[in-house]
Amino acid sequence: MFNYIIARTPCKALIDGISSADDGKPNYELAMKQHLAYLDALRMCGVEILLLPPLENYPDSVFVEDPALCTKHCGIVTRPGADSRRGEIDSIEPALRRFYGDNVERIEAPGTLDAGDVMMVGDTFYIGLSARTNAEGASQLVAILEKHGLTGRLVTMEKVLHLKTGLAYLEDGNLLAAGEFVDKPEFSHLNIIEIPEDESYAANCIWVNGNVIMPSGYPISESKIRDLGYNVVTVDTSEYRKVDGGVSCMSLRF
């Protein structure tokens, strides 16, 4: 059960966000409309939202999932793998302290960690080793988690930006998986719901209090999720996809 959400209003510099896609620059006005609809979808799930102001010096700052990780015992300020995002951590830490007080930890240099590479399954946190999260950052996170009675497990990956680009844990033992993650032995104990290759973007979605919020336009994936018994809410994230963002990237849920 999640009680709180932290999100951030997209800045106008979003159009210059980091991108590996070839879909052009986002339309800022449309991105704002999509973000408001995303927040509305979250509110329908019965959570309280802390909406942070835009950070114009950081084009990717709407993606609050990367500079922080929220657990039930502590908040963790990460050290993003992209140099251009490091400054975001100074503004996310005060938000974490509003909820966690002194129970806020940090990833330190030379470690790097994007929390988009971290997936929570109960008290276990799977940590993807990626271009943004290095072994030192992952090791520091494991130590922090163990300090608070939680567990961290490393996952090697080769093809996607972040672990949660291709995975979404929907609670109840159900895991959406796409591409290289379908046959990963680390997840063999879970009920794997395979997302087809041409709908792989739909693998990035979020469970919020019995609801699944997912990107619109992926009917096969939507049907599979509905068949599991979840209430599905679709949101248009087309402008965020242009800068490598998905549904999970735009909120911290705890």
Which residues are known to be catalytic?
162, 249
Contact between 206 and 199 (Cβ < 8 Å)? no
27 phi, psi to nearest 5 deg = -90, 115
22 phi, psi to nearest 5 deg = -125, 50
Burial letters for 208-244: b for 16+ Cβ neighbours within 10 Å, e otherwise? Answer: beebbbbbeebeebbebbeeeebebbbbebbbbbbbb
In whole angstroms, give the CA distance from residue 176 to residue 191: 8
In 3D space, the residue among 59, 35, 62 whose CA is nearest the CA of residue 213 turns out to be 35
> What value, to the nearest 5°, has the Cα angle with vertex 63 and ends 59 and 64?
115
> What value, to the nearest 5°, has the Cα angle with vertex 100 and ends 98 and 104?
110
CA 196 to chain centroid:
20
Sheet holding 211-215, edge to edge: 206-208, 211-215, 231-235
